[in-house]
Structure 1
Amino acid sequence: MTRWLWLGVVLSVGSGRTGLLRTVLMASGAAIGVFMVLAGLAGATVAASQRERALARTPAQVENSAAELRMLEVEDGIGPRVLRRTAVAGATAGSPRPPGLDAYPDPGELVVSPALADLIRVDPRAADRFPQRIVGLIGPSGLVAPDELRAYVGVPAGDPMLGGDETFFRDNAVVGFGRPLASAHGSAYDTSPDVFTPGRWAAAAFALFVLVPFGTFLATCARLSATTRDRRIAALRLLGVSARQATLVNVVETGVVATAGGVLGTAVFTVLAPLSQGWRIGRLHWYAADIALPLGWIAPVLAGTVLFAVLVGVIATRPARSGPLAVRRGGPARRPAGWRLLPLVCGLGTVVFAATDAAPLNPSGRGVVFISGLLVTGLSLPLVLPLLAYWAAVAVGRIPNVPVWLELATARIRHTPGVAPRLVASLAVTLFVIGMGSLGAALFTNDRGLSNDRHSPLYQVIGRDPALVAALRGIPGTAISQYGTVQVSVDGRGDAALVADCADITALHTFDAGQSCVDGETYWLTSPAGSAAPGPRPGTDVTAENGVHIPAPRHTLNLMSRYEIGHDNPLLITRQSPIAADLPIRPQLAWLIAADRDSVDRAARVVAARAPAAFLSGDLGVHSGLDSDLLLTLLVTGLSISLVLGMGSFAAAAVDRAVERRRDNATLAVVGVRPAVITSGETGFGVLPLVAGVGTACAATIVVGASLATVLDIPTGAVFDRIAPILLLGVGATAVGLLLIAVPAWLTQRITAEHLRRP
């Protein structure tokens, strides 16, 4: 037993330069893969750490509590970056404090995160929002990430937004910290916009973009120099070594190399992790302590890597152990069966079927069928490549007067149709995943070309300071529409009437042809959705809540909203009407209409500076939560990892193939075949399957994209605009693949008769 273990160790080191190259390639593949997996796992630890800190600082708030401490968290933004400010009132020496905050600010004072303090010094957009005096910085324990923009702003205890005499919000009394995450006021998201929450999204992305490509990469590396290793095992069997002993030699050889590569990848990660605090991936930042992985996570990754490599090697060398004579003689492989094409046809057929109007499916069922066909299509690409490569070789071989090198390449493909496609399978799948991932990102984000959603220029001003609305009226590029309500009784039924100027109403609504609003009048209101007042009813009794009789309107306005807001109020009382002065008008709502993002930012500066507890409710254009920016970041990161692993797998296999073919090419060199012909033959042997694989992946992407356009009922061109870069990437991958095949084949042309005697 010991000698077979020792033999496996010796073989793992490699014999000669060729064996050493194979060992280096396999170890490097394991190192890169382990590093990528550990980096993916580190993303989960970062997310978990960020979530814990966000939970720890979330206030526990109760309604109508006697607690003096009041807080209101507001979401704002500086450009695309989210900014969260927390208005604080009523803090005492005994009030509970969130992590990272040494003391609460008094009115007119400010405690900010270091990143926000730096931004206030250099960016007027931040400085205008916070005219208060900075009295402290938030510590790391109170921040999700080093670059977070966060502020605690002191406001007077009587602020109506925080529980003053005219309370707007009644649930802001704080009794402690450490509660489930909640969205800030003004946020467009239901969860905390600060945290990349670990969950099914992260797990799915990790499995798809890291584990699957790593498995393909490691499987390729475990089968480097497959022909040479199979012949070596077959030779051992023919010399009388048992199948069990040959398996042991192979296990030790593969395990030693994979272990060395895994340890190297772990060491590189361990060195780089503490240095990564200043790095960033998109808008994702982290503290160095967050990225540290426990030994209990690293050990399974190393063990799994080694076991997977060993398992691939054992399964792949089974023919050499069971039929050593056939392996040593290099017999031809069986022709690929035609059934390999069936899964691809079924997958694309399912996608096309889901997109047709004839499919008896509801929208949910159509989506399930479409996604099922998409998955089957992706999984069938590696399966169909040997058949496509064989067909391509047969078709090219039938062309009369083909060059010798091309005839040589096609003959080799027909002899071993499964070898060359194995080099390009991961690359083809990667291109298909990139294409589908890009479309998926567009669907889940605010891609205006693939969505009917449009940015609304309407914002509601949430605040109780009349001077604030007056200040907003003077901002260039904006308009203010303001109205109040009064409780009325219409024929004994309670309702609320609008009180506004005609200009306020026309800014938000349009009327039917021939209708107009005149200040000083009252109107019945209807809407396309219908209302309680279908038209003029002169005899209707309308009474305000204070008992004032309101004359029944003589005219009707049919309101059609400009911005997808509506009212079901029965009537409109213009402020200039004689009866308006006698009515108890309730607090007025104010709407801001902004011409562009710059106008919104100018308005947000005024709101934050004059009333820190007030805010604009609407789309501020910030990138937060699981939005387009974060999804795109995750997608690009994942696909970059996939592409690196896919190209790495292809490069390692191409280099190894060129080295391994030297024995067979030596036969041609000895009989006088020129090196250029041999190099061209090797290049053609790899390029034909490469073109077939990349072409099939691009064709599948086009079919799926066209079907997706039909499913979404959007122009096909909008989808193809997103696919075009992927098709160009396919062309680039083909060119790179050509170089990765041709260059090693040319550099390994120092062939002598000595190579004929090498296994």
Structure 2
Amino acid sequence: MRGRWARDLAMGVRFAFAGGREGWGRALLTAVGVGLGVALLLLTTALPNALAAREEREQARTDLTFGAPIPKGNDTLLVAEVGTDFRDLSIRGRELEPEGPRAPLPPGVAEFPAEDEMVVSPALERLLESDGGRLLRERLPERIVGTIGESGLVGPAELAFYRGGEGLAPYLDGGRVTRIDRFGEPDPDPSSEPLDPVLLLLIVVVLVVLLMPVAVFIAAAVRIGGERRDRRLAALRLVGSDSRMTRRIAAGEALAGALLGLVFGAGFFLLGRQAVGSVELFSVSVFPDYLDPSPLLTLLVAVAVPAAAVLVTLFALRGVVIEPLGVVRTARPARRRLWWRLLLPLGGLAMLSPMVGQGRENGNFNTYLVVGGVMLLLVGVTTLLPWVVEAVVARLGAGGVSWQLAVRRLQLSSGTAARMVNGIAVAVAGAIALQMLFSGVESDYTEQTGYDLSRAQMQVSVPKEVPLDAAAGKLRSTEGVRGVLAYAEGYAGDRRRDPEHGTQVTVGDCASLREIAKLPACRDGDVFAVHGAEYDTETPLVAEPGRRLFLDPSYEGSPRGREVAWTVPRDLKRAAARVGPTGSDRGGFLITPKALPAAAAPALEGEAYVKLDPAVPDAEEQVRNTAAAVHPLTYPLSWSGTQQSGRYTSIRTGLFVGAACVLALIGASLLVSQLEQLRERRKLLASLVAFGTRRRTLTLSVLWQTAVPIALGLVLASVVGLALGAVLLRMTSASVRVDWASVLSMTGIGAAVVLAVTLLSLPPLLRMMRPEGLRTE
């Protein structure tokens, strides 16, 4: 038995490549279709290694310290974080000051840049030299003396720089300015917080939804040229093969196409691997050597694809009677049954239903049930769509000539039409479900910042050593700035070292202080104690006239000698708390400039809240440039009304990147399928033109043949996607809400891909309508 199977499969492999130009063309189209899917599967198997490589590169250049501060030595380096943003781009920046000859070099840097010099990533160098980088060049005027090597970057499109620094020691705070003796994670936390169950559910569903269309397309690709293949098999029956042998030979032909597809897929993957270095999707880029597929997963793909090709072919031939005088598929087929097609989506719902209402408080979701349930629901789209197409087109009739040609063709081969649409329908159904799930849980991973964007849109932190008034004046004169609220902020304790009680101190003019508290009459020289602020219990304990306090007191491990004595004035006034621009109120002391001793100025840090003019383009960039000119360590921050969890954002970004790759596969595979369909009908099209049918009529008929199945497929995908999304939301205990704009956008994207493929297939269609199409071999 095994020998018979091997002999028949080998004969099918020979037939796949022995059919002349037409046979080779069919084999190549099959190989291209399968190869595209294999390339994406290989890319998927390489993603874990790519993410791990990015993480290793990030850890290797980490400049954070844990534990006790490191003393100065000949092997230490001062590092200041001086990164910035430019429009919607994030730029990683560090200022370096070696304290000895053995100071550690950052990965990818050959030698330390001197003051007024910097080394940059290739992507940042291109940006600085471009016309669009003029504003950024004003902010980074240092001379470029080198390029950061690949070992110092997480991706080829990363924007990063290292510049030389001097005099960083006074700013050493263990945060933005640190002292290190080596780069790399010194003490990685092995007990990092695990992902919560809902985020794990998102990851699992994203993987299933992205990979299911790939599997569907591979299954469709191995059936390219199925009608011509069946006619060839009928000829084999004439020379004595039985029906089982004929099916095994057909499986051999599919196996040949799948094996050739593996070769094509490896080639496509290697080509894409080399080109990936020049591509950036959603601010994510990787080096080509990151994409190193797992050997075990690669072997799984190499075995699964040919096996699937054989099984799909045998399954497809189960309802085809191949006789010596023809194929009984040309007669009107029996109506498809609905009952068994409903079992798959119902089974998927049954697998997911035990987890309804589980939420994140009851442990992780059962991964096997989630994967199985989502797969069954999505596969249900592929089983239901042929029945839907057949049921609908059977009732279509009257219309123009092009419409009647299209309807008749769909009535005769509704299965082929549905097979072409299956992939896009599965992708849209999964996308709708994911969009519902992401939208439903987004609020759980999004929090309000509390910033009052009507009063300020940016915050600029000014180092202690920089006069706040001068910095605020420069910000006020910046193009695009409507107003600036400036405060010097610090802390006052009841003891010079390790105070027991203390409270916040804020210094500003009367106009600025009124934005953060309700003041009685105010003039320069007044001091106020704020009462009624939320969470402030310390001010009543220290706001006693005549009491001696210390500004910037020292604590264990912090530098000493910076404390400044200050006495609470006898004419202390009372003020009521008010919500400030940051969205919270503040207690403590409010001091006008004349009431503050000159010696206390270095003990306070400056904060400026900037209101922008929305009519001025690049107003934020102008503020960032001014901040950089005030002092290299001035830190501007753009405000937003909300902020999202980094893990949630990373998963969503991964979905967008994967969806872009799947959409590219969808378009390419649809185009291959469409070309094969046209190639099989070349003689028919040429004959109709020869008998006087207008090319415009035939072109419209082809368009109708594409439009009708895709419309039905998108409707079915929307129904299944909404059902799956509702179940997933109930599993997370979130309320079921349908974002109809997202549903329409997902279906619109699917329709746009099909429209683009149809337009690309028109030139070959017009060529096939020529009389030369009647020629045969």
Q: Tell whether the structures are fold-level matches, with TM greater than 0.5.
A: yes
Question: Is residue 116–residue 143 contact of structure 2 (8 Å, CA) maintained in 1?
Answer: yes
Paired letter, 1:101? V
| Helix, strand or coil at the partner of 1:34 | helix
What is the CA–CA distance in structure 2 between the aligned matches of 1:537 and 1:73, rounded to whole Å? 36
Please list the CA deviations of residues 475-496 of structure 1 after superposition, one character each: whole Å capped at 9, or x if unmatched. Answer: 222522223332259xx98231
Percent identical pairs in the alignment equals 21
| Helix, strand or coil at the partner of 2:461 | strand
What is the CA–CA distance in structure 2 between the aligned matches of 1:636 and 1:539, rounded to whole Å? 58
Question: Is residue 155–residue 612 contact of structure 1 (8 Å, CA) maintained in 2?
Answer: no
Unaligned runs of 5+ residues in structure 1 are 184-189, 192-198
What is the CA–CA distance in structure 2 between the aligned matches of 1:299 and 1:161, rounded to whole Å? 55
Question: Is residue 522–residue 573 contact of structure 1 (8 Å, CA) maintained in 2?
Answer: yes
Paired letter, 1:461? S
Please list the CA deviations of residues 573-596 of structure 1 after superposition, one character each: whole Å capped at 9, or x if unmatched. Answer: 423686x54996882232222234
Please list the CA deviations of residues 623-663 of structure 1 after superposition, one character each: whole Å capped at 9, or x if unmatched. Answer: 99969998887555533433343344444444545565799
What is the CA–CA distance in structure 2 between the aligned matches of 1:350 and 1:500, rounded to whole Å? 63
Show the 5 A alignment for 1:156-195: 156-157=166-167, 159-162=169-172, 169=175, 172-179=178-185
Match of 1:52 in 2: 56
What is the CA–CA distance in structure 1 between the aligned matches of 2:440 and 2:450, rounded to whole Å? 11
The alpha-carbon deviation at position 407 of structure 1 amounts to: 7.2
Match of 1:89 in 2: 97
TM-score by length of 1: 0.73
Match of 1:100 in 2: 108
- Count of aligned positions: 712
| Helix, strand or coil at the partner of 1:177 | coil
Paired letter, 1:423? M
The alpha-carbon deviation at position 507 of structure 1 amounts to: 6.6
Paired letter, 2:487? S
Question: Is residue 444–residue 628 contact of structure 1 (8 Å, CA) maintained in 2?
Answer: no
What is the CA–CA distance in structure 2 between the aligned matches of 1:115 and 1:54, rounded to whole Å? 17
What is the CA–CA distance in structure 1 between the aligned matches of 2:209 and 2:410, rounded to whole Å? 31
Match of 2:197 in 1: none
Paired letter, 2:79? M
What is the CA–CA distance in structure 2 between the aligned matches of 1:748 and 1:173, rounded to whole Å? 75
The alpha-carbon deviation at position 260 of structure 1 amounts to: 2.0
Match of 2:501 in 1: 494
| Helix, strand or coil at the partner of 1:263 | helix
Corresponding position: 1:427 with 2:434:
no
What is the CA–CA distance in structure 2 between the aligned matches of 1:36 and 1:233, rounded to whole Å? 32
Paired letter, 1:481? Y
Residues 127 and 181 of structure 1: is their aligned pair in 2 closer, same or farther, counting only changes over 3 Å?
farther
Question: Is residue 263–residue 302 contact of structure 1 (8 Å, CA) maintained in 2?
Answer: no
The alpha-carbon deviation at position 474 of structure 1 amounts to: 1.4
Question: Is residue 112–residue 134 contact of structure 1 (8 Å, CA) maintained in 2?
Answer: yes
Aligned with residue 690 of structure 1, among 705, 710, 717: 710
What is the CA–CA distance in structure 1 between the aligned matches of 2:123 and 2:543, rounded to whole Å? 63
Corresponding position: 1:149 with 2:123:
no
Match of 2:621 in 1: 601
Give the aligned CA root-mean-square deviation in angstroms: 5.9
Match of 1:129 in 2: 139
| Helix, strand or coil at the partner of 2:606 | strand
Question: Is residue 488–residue 497 contact of structure 1 (8 Å, CA) maintained in 2?
Answer: no
Question: Is residue 658–residue 745 contact of structure 1 (8 Å, CA) maintained in 2?
Answer: no
Aligned with residue 86 of structure 2, among 64, 78, 87: 78
Match of 1:35 in 2: 39
Show the 5 A alignment for 1:317-356: 317-319=317-319, 328=328, 330=331, 332-337=333-338, 340=341
Show the 5 A alignment for 1:547-626: 548=567, 550-551=569-570, 555-567=574-586, 569=587, 571-575=588-592, 581=597, 587-596=603-612, 598-609=618-629, 611-617=631-637, 619=639
Residues 613 and 396 of structure 1: is their aligned pair in 2 closer, same or farther, counting only changes over 3 Å?
same
Residues 84 and 740 of structure 1: is their aligned pair in 2 closer, same or farther, counting only changes over 3 Å?
closer
| Helix, strand or coil at the partner of 1:172 | strand
What is the CA–CA distance in structure 2 between the aligned matches of 1:108 and 1:411, rounded to whole Å? 75
What is the CA–CA distance in structure 2 between the aligned matches of 1:121 and 1:753, rounded to whole Å? 58
What is the CA–CA distance in structure 1 between the aligned matches of 2:669 and 2:644, rounded to whole Å? 36
Unaligned runs of 5+ residues in structure 2 are 194-199, 551-564
Residues 78 and 556 of structure 1: is their aligned pair in 2 closer, same or farther, counting only changes over 3 Å?
closer
Please list the CA deviations of residues 389-419 of structure 1 after superposition, one character each: whole Å capped at 9, or x if unmatched. Answer: 233234436xxx6779877876776677644
Question: Is residue 729–residue 736 contact of structure 2 (8 Å, CA) maintained in 1?
Answer: yes
| Helix, strand or coil at the partner of 2:182 | strand
Paired letter, 2:583? E
What is the CA–CA distance in structure 1 between the aligned matches of 2:450 and 2:377, rounded to whole Å? 30
The alpha-carbon deviation at position 460 of structure 1 amounts to: 4.8
What is the CA–CA distance in structure 1 between the aligned matches of 2:241 and 2:725, rounded to whole Å? 55
Paired letter, 1:155? G
Match of 2:466 in 1: 466
Quick check: 543-552 or 469-478, which moved more?
A: 543-552
Match of 2:556 in 1: none
The alpha-carbon deviation at position 75 of structure 1 amounts to: 2.6
The alpha-carbon deviation at position 606 of structure 1 amounts to: 4.5
Residues 737 and 74 of structure 1: is their aligned pair in 2 closer, same or farther, counting only changes over 3 Å?
closer
Show the 5 A alignment for 1:628-643: 637-643=657-663
The alpha-carbon deviation at position 161 of structure 1 amounts to: 1.9
The alpha-carbon deviation at position 375 of structure 1 amounts to: 8.3
| Helix, strand or coil at the partner of 2:65 | strand
Residues 404 and 349 of structure 1: is their aligned pair in 2 closer, same or farther, counting only changes over 3 Å?
farther
The alpha-carbon deviation at position 746 of structure 1 amounts to: 10
Match of 1:391 in 2: 391
The alpha-carbon deviation at position 220 of structure 1 amounts to: 0.6
The alpha-carbon deviation at position 425 of structure 1 amounts to: 1.8
Show the 5 A alignment for 1:296-375: 301-319=301-319, 328=328, 330=331, 332-337=333-338, 340=341
Quick check: 732-741 or 105-114, which moved more?
A: 732-741
The alpha-carbon deviation at position 5 of structure 1 amounts to: 4.8
Match of 1:258 in 2: 258
TM-score by length of 2: 0.71
What is the CA–CA distance in structure 1 between the aligned matches of 2:734 and 2:207, rounded to whole Å? 28
Corresponding position: 1:220 with 2:213:
no
The alpha-carbon deviation at position 325 of structure 1 amounts to: 11
The alpha-carbon deviation at position 26 of structure 1 amounts to: 0.7
The alpha-carbon deviation at position 239 of structure 1 amounts to: 7.1
Paired letter, 1:616? P
Question: Is residue 542–residue 551 contact of structure 1 (8 Å, CA) maintained in 2?
Answer: no
What is the CA–CA distance in structure 1 between the aligned matches of 2:314 and 2:116, rounded to whole Å? 72
Question: Is residue 523–residue 572 contact of structure 1 (8 Å, CA) maintained in 2?
Answer: yes
What is the CA–CA distance in structure 1 between the aligned matches of 2:345 and 2:202, rounded to whole Å? 27
Paired letter, 1:212? M
| Helix, strand or coil at the partner of 2:661 | helix
Show the 5 A alignment for 1:376-415: 380-396=380-396
Please list the CA deviations of residues 675-712 of structure 1 after superposition, one character each: whole Å capped at 9, or x if unmatched. Answer: 99999888766654333113344577789999999999
What is the CA–CA distance in structure 2 between the aligned matches of 1:346 and 1:510, rounded to whole Å? 62
| Helix, strand or coil at the partner of 1:65 | coil
What is the CA–CA distance in structure 2 between the aligned matches of 1:224 and 1:681, rounded to whole Å? 21
Question: Is residue 283–residue 630 contact of structure 1 (8 Å, CA) maintained in 2?
Answer: no
The alpha-carbon deviation at position 385 of structure 1 amounts to: 1.9
The alpha-carbon deviation at position 208 of structure 1 amounts to: 3.8
The alpha-carbon deviation at position 341 of structure 1 amounts to: 6.1
What is the CA–CA distance in structure 2 between the aligned matches of 1:76 and 1:607, rounded to whole Å? 11
Paired letter, 1:565? S
